[in-house]
Amino acid sequence: MPPADPWILFDIDGTLVDSGRLIVRVWRQVAAEFDADAEAILAECHGRRDAEIVPMFFRPPDVPAVLARIQELEAAGGDLLSPVPGALELLTSLAPERWAAVTSGPSGLMTGRLRAAGLPIPAVLVAADHVRHGKPDPEGYLAAARALGAAPEACVVVEDAPAGIAAGVRAGMFVAALTTTHTADRLTGADVVLDRLSDLRDIGAAAPAARE
């Protein structure tokens, strides 16, 4: 069952910020420029750090240039960002010390995305440049719980991608998955799957899926 009066740890892309159009545009453009398979990249990139994805699909000599190009394109794409429906209302209803964000993007970029979407910046934000190991490793979620002074079992992770779900599960936290990026059949391992972020308010009444 979900913890009573939990601390809530949110992913950002696809969970709080609708960045889907930007992500697709960026990866399609860099794939075209550097002769890579955009569809294969898009099947794997959500919820994972660029530094881990790029070496999987691009020639080793191109990796530094690809990473720099991604940053350039992402920084220029603020017009394609918007809040996930219900995100602002939910975040402003939470006490600042009861929630955090854990993201696979760099901290500067992700605070910029939150601002562009009109969302508050959390007091605790654990980003790609704050951890040694990205999702699906649990390091980021465990670091956020420590910063909030919360036990892992008292936290609810809100995610939209398989890598993030795996990270939350490995951290020993209750995981709520949103179908904002993937269909429900891709969100295996989550305790509960939600169609809308606003449904998180009713999570206590949800029947979580049993883990193996």
Nearest-angstrom CA–CA distance, 77 and 173: 33
Residues tagged active-site: 11, 13
The answer to whether the peptide bond before residue 136 is cis (omega within 30 degrees of 0) is yes
Task: Please compute the mean of the pLDDT values over residues 23-44 and round it to a whole number.
Answer: 95
Q: Is 159 left (phi over 0), alpha (psi -120 to 50) or beta?
A: beta
Nearest-angstrom CA–CA distance, 212 and 209: 10
Q: What pLDDT, in 10s, does the model give residues 184-210?
A: 999 999 999 999 999 998 764 333 333
**Both structure tokens of 80:** 């394609």
Q: Is the sign of the CA dihedral 156, 52, 54, 75 positive or negative?
A: positive
Q: What pLDDT, in 10s, does the model give residues 64-118?
A: 999 999 989 988 888 889 999 999 999 999 999 999 999 998 999 899 999 999 9
Nearest-angstrom CA–CA distance, 94 and 129: 26
Nearest-angstrom CA–CA distance, 211 and 205: 18
Lowest mean pLDDT among 8-12, 21-25, 85-89, 188-192: 21-25
